[in-house]
């Protein structure tokens, strides 16, 4: 883009680079903001349907699709209150921290093969780390509001999120372990041979761990039945009791941003990312059947394959968000001690057991290797490229050599 | 040597925490109106709860001493506004008792139909709002959807949807419209399968059971000591229902009706044949049981309405012409309690011989039911407070009057 | 590549470094315990930004997760300990200022001396476009080094890693000890 600006408008490279960066930032931010807009509308529509209502019907013509925008305008027009008892600086900053944390994580989330703002090598880890920062805004909000209900909400959130990061991390490690990389693009590309190459169907343990991941993800982004930080029947509105107007909507957008983010992460880790159930854009479908092989080509076909992939990815992640919405409007809320029990007594041991099982499958110990799909579909196995980053290739006497480049190793080779 | 735990030398080490005084209400989403609970909490654990009342006091009883009994009927509507028909009935019966006014069979069956429909409507709200207290929104709207149909029926009868003033001393303000009972039957046929939806969404939901079973356990003795009544009393396993055990003037309405009082006997409820079994975690007298009694009472009321319709169709006599607006009352005092949806609703009337009562008092069921909160809540978590208060199903309009 | 014409890395490096320093000063100068923790988080976050710029993405993410997460717990402790009197401020006496300033100043001088004594850092640095960056983003060497295997000639970090872990454990126990209270055992227990 910089080249384009310089060659077309004759700008100086510095100005062009700043302009390009600005445009890309705005694009990313708006993709997420518009996403939140759509998801809020979707939540209202789905909630309405679940409850025998219609949901929004009027704003913007059919289906009330502009309802969220109208709400946004209303929120902007509302008075921006700061309670007299609040720590004004932190109170005002807190929403931005939540918001920024949620949106920063999008930087490393690939939408299609190579369509990622920053190709972070440790993408999984980066997203988890940045997502964990979101709770910081919540805690500051709760503390700075000067309200007891807010403080209750904040402390609950802190306890919950810090606890649920443990099983969440354990769950995420399993696909990372199977693929041998933390690079999200590489992980998704390894699932490009159709539905059976998706990691959720890799072996029984990955199947189990996906559900644990989804539960923990819901807990870590504060969705019902784990929305204790804002439990309206107990804590009025929890940590955002004292917020109004636009500041409140930042928390809201952060929540929806995180929802999509964890769903997207689930899609990449377990559901093949941007690869469809029949990945016709890749070169082979289920190992042996030749596909179109368009994905990854540096031409217009590759771009089209990218678009299809992005649509695929967004659709799958949206299904994840829909399930979260569905659960929210169906189940009662858990109590704080039950939430913690669930995490420490069920999620952590289950995740650990599944992790162990997945290790056994991967290492083919105790004959558990036969639980893996790879063992039964040899074509798939040979097609699944293993990305070993910096793997120890040989041990010669005392010297260990490390191949510092990424090596692509055929599974059976 | 046995250790005495109250020995001052025994000191336990714990994380240092401070007590917090929190105001729950009067503006709080789950205090059912304008109840104010002052909570003393240690972290999330409640150590003391004090209910504060009076935010909805409208001097209804004093007003009753300046109006004739029929004029006061609209004020009874506004006591338990979710079961206004049953409030009307309570006051009407008291006045009739003073006047020694006898009703025709038809009028009695009409009252059974109306008041049991009112009970269904009231329990539906109680159920939905309880779901709301526990953080699930959808059952509330499902409950309101069916309640709306009852309100439609009531609207056809008296023109009002919330404050009916339909049952009056002497009978009712008008007979049931023609064809109305068929609509009621159609509604009941429709409601029956929906009840199992409610059971699926709440009664048997794992999270619901976790949140309610074993929480706020009230023994039968305690329930009696605090003067609890209605589903709260029966949820603790006390077999007491004024429709069966009340005064002759009230129970004669239900003569010839087949129904069983909803109370747990030998570990199961009379009607639990087709309905979910009591979960293992549930303890008699906990929130789950109170909720379940209410759900079963909806079924019971549906049965009663069906029977009432049969009897109403074949009954003789008029629908009960109301007494005159300025009917002179005989000297004396009367008291009568009826089984309103939330418990025993009593009215006390003292007359000095004029058309206007000299004293009017109401005995609120919710007031007694609410009084147990300060006993049940200590030791619970904050999240249990809405669960317990919700299971008592209070209406502040009745408590404050 | 025109983007390379501008030395972006250096600009951002300076920016993040200055942010980290500024927020570190903020920790020093503010008297509100929660704000201190807040500035500490920002300072550590800026440091994570430095790691990302240096291409050590894994370490950067680690910095975010561990330090920022750890500060979070610190913050909660702050809130818990000051819940009684809200927004408690910590006043520092002048003699404490002097003590801390001399100690900190000495450390800073030492650090500066060490920094300037590294010969590689004193060379005239080539233009960034001419540097061929080695693949430094890999996490495996870090993991191996932490478990005691170094691929180059150095020694592994197993022992320091262990020391740090024990240190953290001690800190945790200490925090628990500081926060405890004596209470008369009640008859229910």
pLDDT band at A366 (very low <50, low <70, confident <90, very high): confident
Choose the closest CB to B28 out of A152, A236, A332: A236
**Cβ(A316)–Cβ(A326) under 8 Å?**
no
Q: In angstroms, rounded to a whole number, what is the distance separating the alpha carbons of residues B216 and A203?
A: 45
Say whether pLDDT at A397 is over 50: no
- Structural domains of chain A, count: 1
At residue C22, the pLDDT reads 92
Residues of chain B contacting residue A53, judged by C-beta atoms under 8 Å apart:
141
Preceding amide of A7 cis, omega within 30: no
Q: What is the DSSP letter of A371?
A: G
Residues of chain A contacting residue B138, judged by C-beta atoms under 8 Å apart:
47, 50-51, 329-330
Same domain, C90 and C168: no
Q: What are the helix (H) ranges across B170-230? A: 180-198, 206-212, 220-225
Residue appearing with tokens 């001399």: C102
Asked, for residue A216, whether it belongs to a domain, the answer is yes
Tell me the sheet residues that pair with B359. Answer: B350
Domain that holds residue C164: 138-183
Residue C32, chain A, CB below 8 Å: the answer is: yes
- Pick the residue from chain A with its C-alpha nearest to B197: A330
Q: In angstroms, rounded to a whole number, what is the distance separating the alpha carbons of residues C90 and C93?
A: 10
Task: Please enumerate residues of B whose Cβ is less than 8 A from a Cβ of C.
Answer: 5-8, 10-18, 20
CB contact under 8 A, C181 and B17: yes
Q: Give the H/E segment covering residue B46.
A: strand B45-52
Asked, for residue C119, whether it belongs to a domain, the answer is no
CB contact under 8 A, C151 and A402: yes
Same domain, B239 and B373: yes
Same domain, C1 and C85: yes
Question: Chain-centre distance of CA B163, in angstroms?
Answer: 16
Same domain, C82 and C158: no
Q: Which of the two residues, A235 and B193, has the higher pLDDT score?
A: B193
The pair of structure tokens assigned to B177 is 């419209």
Q: In angstroms, rounded to a whole number, what is the distance separating the alpha carbons of residues A298 and A186?
A: 17
Task: Please enumerate residues of A whose Cβ is less than 8 A from a Cβ of C.
Answer: 2-3, 6, 13-14, 16-17, 85, 87, 89-90, 93, 120-122, 125-126, 128-130, 132-133, 135-136, 139-140, 143-144, 146, 151, 154-155, 158, 162, 165, 182, 389-392, 400-402, 404-405
pLDDT band at A213 (very low <50, low <70, confident <90, very high): very high
Asked, for residue B47, whether it belongs to a domain, the answer is yes
Asked, for residue A294, whether it belongs to a domain, the answer is yes
Say whether pLDDT at A121 is over 80: no
The DSSP secondary structure of B303-349, one letter per residue, reads: HHHHHHHHHHHH--S-S-PPPPTTPPPPSEEEEEEEEETTEEEEEEE
Same domain, B35 and B103: no
CB contact under 8 A, A17 and C79: no
- Structural domains of chain B, count: 2
Choose the closest CB to B208 out of A53, A232, A332: A332
Same domain, B170 and B47: no
Same domain, B32 and B98: no
Distance from CA of B13 to the nearest CA of C (A): 5
Asked, for residue B10, whether it belongs to a domain, the answer is no
Same domain, B34 and B172: no
- What does the mean pLDDT of chain C come to? 74
At residue C13, the pLDDT reads 83
Domain that holds residue A193: 80-384
Asked, for residue A14, whether it belongs to a domain, the answer is no
Same domain, B251 and B374: yes
pLDDT band at A287 (very low <50, low <70, confident <90, very high): low
Condensed to tens digits (0 to 9), the pLDDT of residues A163-172 reads 888 888 888 9
Same domain, C59 and C143: no
Of A91, A201, A216, the residue nearest A161 (C-alpha): A216
At residue C123, the pLDDT reads 67
Count how many pairs of residues, chain B against chain C, have C-beta atoms within 8 Å: 38
Same domain, B269 and B130: yes
- Structural domains of chain C, count: 2
Residue appearing with tokens 């729950």: B24
Asked, for residue C133, whether it belongs to a domain, the answer is no
At residue A399, the pLDDT reads 46
- Pick the residue from chain A with its C-alpha nearest to B384: A335
Asked, for residue C114, whether it belongs to a domain, the answer is no
Give the CATH number, domain containing residue C14.
1.20.120.1200
Q: In angstroms, rounded to a whole number, what is the distance separating the alpha carbons of residues B258 and B132?
A: 34
Condensed to tens digits (0 to 9), the pLDDT of residues A328-343 reads 888 888 888 888 888 8
Asked, for residue A309, whether it belongs to a domain, the answer is yes
Asked, for residue C18, whether it belongs to a domain, the answer is yes
Sign of torsion over alpha carbons B244, B250, B253, B255: positive
Q: Which of the two residues, B52 and C69, has the higher pLDDT score?
A: B52
Domain that holds residue B242: 60-400
Choose the closest CB to B205 out of A224, A228, A332: A332
- List of residues 6+ apart from A298 with CB closer than 8 A: none
Strands of the B36-42 sheet, one edge to the other: B19-24, B36-42, B45-52
- Alpha-carbon distance values, A44 to A51, A259, B388 (Å): 10, 15, 30
Asked, for residue A399, whether it belongs to a domain, the answer is no
C-beta contacts of C35-39 below 8 A and 24+ residues apart: C35/A87, C35/A89, C35/A90, C36/C78, C37/C71, C37/C74, C37/C75, C37/C78, C38/A90, C38/A93, C38/A140, C38/C75
pLDDT band at C160 (very low <50, low <70, confident <90, very high): confident
Q: In angstroms, rounded to a whole number, what is the distance separating the alpha carbons of residues A342 and B282?
A: 20
ipTM of this model?
A: 0.77
Same domain, B90 and B189: yes
At residue C188, the pLDDT reads 44
Asked, for residue C101, whether it belongs to a domain, the answer is no
Q: Which of the two residues, C137 and C166, has the higher pLDDT score?
A: C166
At residue A407, the pLDDT reads 45
The pair of structure tokens assigned to A8 is 């077309």
CB contact under 8 A, C6 and A154: no
Last-in-domain residue among B7, B28, B52: B52
Asked, for residue B3, whether it belongs to a domain, the answer is no
Asked, for residue A87, whether it belongs to a domain, the answer is yes
At residue A342, the pLDDT reads 87
The length of chain B in residues reads: 401
The DSSP secondary structure of C115-154, one letter per residue, reads: HHH-GGGGSPPPPGGG--------SHHHHHHHTT--SSSS
The pair of structure tokens assigned to C39 is 């500035």
Residue C151, chain A, CB below 8 Å: the answer is: yes
Asked, for residue C106, whether it belongs to a domain, the answer is no
* Least confident piece of the model among A43-57, A91-105, B6-20: B6-20
Same domain, B231 and B369: yes
Strands of the B359-363 sheet, one edge to the other: B332-340, B343-351, B359-363
pLDDT in tens, chain B (401 residues): 455 555 555 555 555 556 778 888 787 777 777 888 888 887 778 888 888 888 888 888 889 888 898 889 999 988 888 888 999 999 999 998 888 888 888 888 888 999 999 999 999 998 888 988 888 888 888 998 889 999 999 998 888 888 888 888 888 888 888 888 889 989 998 888 888 888 888 888 888 898 888 888 888 898 899 988 889 998 888 888 888 888 888 888 888 888 888 888 777 777 656 777 788 888 888 888 899 899 888 988 988 998 889 888 888 777 777 888 888 888 888 999 898 898 888 899 999 888 889 989 998 888 888 889 888 888 888 888 888 888 888 888 888 88
Asked, for residue C116, whether it belongs to a domain, the answer is no
At residue B35, the pLDDT reads 85
Largest CA distance in chain B: 82
Asked, for residue A263, whether it belongs to a domain, the answer is yes
Same domain, B104 and B251: yes
- Pick the residue from chain A with its C-alpha nearest to C82: A143
Distance from CA of C147 to the nearest CA of A (A): 14
Same domain, B325 and B366: yes
Same domain, C171 and C87: no
Asked, for residue C127, whether it belongs to a domain, the answer is no
Say whether pLDDT at A401 is over 80: no
Same domain, B25 and B68: no
């Amino acid at each position: 883009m910089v080249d384009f600006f310089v060659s077309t408008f004759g700008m100086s490279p510095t100005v062009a680079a700043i302009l390009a960066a600005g445009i890309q930032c705005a694009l990313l931010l708006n993709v997420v903001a518009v996403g939140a807009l759509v998801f809020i509308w979707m939540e209202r529509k789905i909630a309405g349907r679940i409850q025998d209502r219609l949901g929004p019907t009027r704003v913007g013509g059919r289906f009330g699709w502009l309802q969220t925008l109208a709400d946004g305008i209303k929120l902007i027009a509302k008075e921006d209150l700061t309670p007299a008892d609040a720590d004004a600086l932190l109170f005002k900053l807190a929403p931005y921290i939540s918001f920024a944390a949620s949106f920063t994580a999008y930087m490393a989330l690939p939408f299609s093969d190579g369509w990622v703002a920053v190709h972070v090598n440790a993408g999984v880890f980066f997203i988890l780390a940045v997502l964990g920062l979101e709770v910081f805004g919540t805690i500051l909000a709760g503390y700075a509001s000067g309200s007891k209900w807010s403080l209750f909400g904040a402390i609950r959130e802190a306890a919950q999120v810090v606890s649920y990061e443990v099983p969440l991390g354990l769950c995420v490690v399993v696909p990372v372990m199977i693929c041998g990389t933390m690079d999200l693009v590489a992980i998704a590309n390894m699932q490009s041979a159709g539905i059976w190459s998706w990691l959720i169907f890799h072996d029984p343990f990955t199947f189990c761990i996906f559900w644990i991941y989804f539960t923990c993800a819901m807990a870590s982004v504060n969705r019902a039945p784990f929305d204790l930080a804002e439990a309206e029947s107990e804590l009025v509105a929890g940590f955002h009791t004292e917020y109004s107007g636009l500041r409140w909507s930042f928390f809201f957008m952060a929540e929806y941003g995180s929802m999509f983010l964890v769903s997207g992460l689930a899609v990449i880790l377990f559901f093949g990312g941007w690869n469809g159930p029949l990945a016709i854009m890749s070169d082979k479908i289920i190992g042996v059947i030749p596909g179109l092989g368009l994905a990854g080509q540096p031409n217009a076909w590759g771009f089209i394959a990218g678009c299809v992939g992005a649509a695929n990815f967004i659709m799958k992640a949206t299904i994840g968000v829909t399930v979260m919405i569905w659960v929210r409007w169906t189940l009662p809320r858990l109590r704080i001690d039950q939430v913690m029990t669930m995490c420490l007594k069920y999620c952590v041991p289950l995740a650990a057991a599944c992790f162990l099982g997945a290790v056994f499958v991967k290492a083919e110990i105790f004959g558990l290797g036969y639980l893996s799909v790879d063992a039964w579909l040899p074509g798939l196995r040979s097609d699944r490229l293993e990305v070993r980053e910096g793997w120890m290739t040989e041990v010669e006497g005392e010297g260990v050599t490390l191949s510092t480049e990424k090596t692509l190793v055929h599974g059976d080779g | 040597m046995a250790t005495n735990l109250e020995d001052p030398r025994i000191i336990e080490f714990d994380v240092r925490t401070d007590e917090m005084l929190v105001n729950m209400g009067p503006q709080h989403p789950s205090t059912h109106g304008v109840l104010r609970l002052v909570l003393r909490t240690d972290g999330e654990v409640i150590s003391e709860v004090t209910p504060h009342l009076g935010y909805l006091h409208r001097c209804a009883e004093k007003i009753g001493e300046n109006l004739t009994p029929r004029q006061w009927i609209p004020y009874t509507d506004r006591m338990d506004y979710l079961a206004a028909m049953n409030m009307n009935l309570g006051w009407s019966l008291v006045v009739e008792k003073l006047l020694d006014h006898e009703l025709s069979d038809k009028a009695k069956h009409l009252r059974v139909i109306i008041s049991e429909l009112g009970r269904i409507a009231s329990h539906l709200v109680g159920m939905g709002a309880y779901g709301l207290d526990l953080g699930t929104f959808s059952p509330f709207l499902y409950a309101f959807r069916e309640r709306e149909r009852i309100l439609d029926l009531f609207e056809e009868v008296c023109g009002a949807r919330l404050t009916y003033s339909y049952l009056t001393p002497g009978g009712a303000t008008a007979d049931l419209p023609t064809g109305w009972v068929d609509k009621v039957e159609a509604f009941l046929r429709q409601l029956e399968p929906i009840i199992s939806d409610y059971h699926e969404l709440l009664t048997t939901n794992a999270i619901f059971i976790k949140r309610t079973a074993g929480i706020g356990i009230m023994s039968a003795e305690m329930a009696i000591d605090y003067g609890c009544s209605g589903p709260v009393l029966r949820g603790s396993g006390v077999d007491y229902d004024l429709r069966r055990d009340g005064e002759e003037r009230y129970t004669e309405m239900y003569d010839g009706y087949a129904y069983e009082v909803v109370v747990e006997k030998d570990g199961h409820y009379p009607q639990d044949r087709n309905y979910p079994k009591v979960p293992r975690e549930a303890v008699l007298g906990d929130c789950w049981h109170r909720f379940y009694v209410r759900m079963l009472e909806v079924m019971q009321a549906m049965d009663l309405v069906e029977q009432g319709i049969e009897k109403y169709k074949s009954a003789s006599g008029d629908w009960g012409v109301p007494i005159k607006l300025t009917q002179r009352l005989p000297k004396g005092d009367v008291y009568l309690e009826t089984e309103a949806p939330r418990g025993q609703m009593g009215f006390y009337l003292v007359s000095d011989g004029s058309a206007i009562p000299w004293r009017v008092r109401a005995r609120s069921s919710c007031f007694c039911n609410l009084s147990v909160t300060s006993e049940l809540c200590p030791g619970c978590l904050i999240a249990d407070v809405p669960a317990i208060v919700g299971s008592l199903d209070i209406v502040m309009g009745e408590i404050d009057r | 590549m025109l983007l390379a014409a501008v030395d972006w890395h250096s600009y951002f490096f300076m920016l993040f470094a200055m942010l980290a320093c500024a927020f570190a000063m903020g920790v020093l100068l503010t008297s509100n315990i929660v704000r201190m923790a807040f500035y500490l988080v920002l300072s550590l976050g800026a440091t994570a930004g430095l790691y990302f710029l240096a291409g050590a993405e894994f370490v950067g993410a680690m910095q975010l997760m561990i330090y920022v997460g750890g500060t979070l717990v610190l913050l909660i402790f702050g809130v818990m300990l000051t819940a009684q009197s809200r927004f408690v401020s910590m006043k520092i006496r002048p003699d404490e200022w002097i003590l801390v300033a001399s100690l900190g100043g000495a450390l800073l001088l030492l650090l500066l001396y060490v920094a300037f004594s590294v010969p590689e850092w004193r060379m005239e640095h080539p233009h960034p476009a001419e540097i061929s960056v080695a693949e430094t983003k890999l996490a495996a060497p870090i993991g191996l080094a932490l478990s005691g295997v170094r691929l180059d000639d150095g020694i592994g970090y197993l022992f320091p890693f262990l020391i740090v872990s024990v240190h953290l454990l001690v800190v945790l126990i200490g925090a628990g000890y500081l926060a405890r209270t004596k209470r008369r055992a009640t008859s229910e227990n």
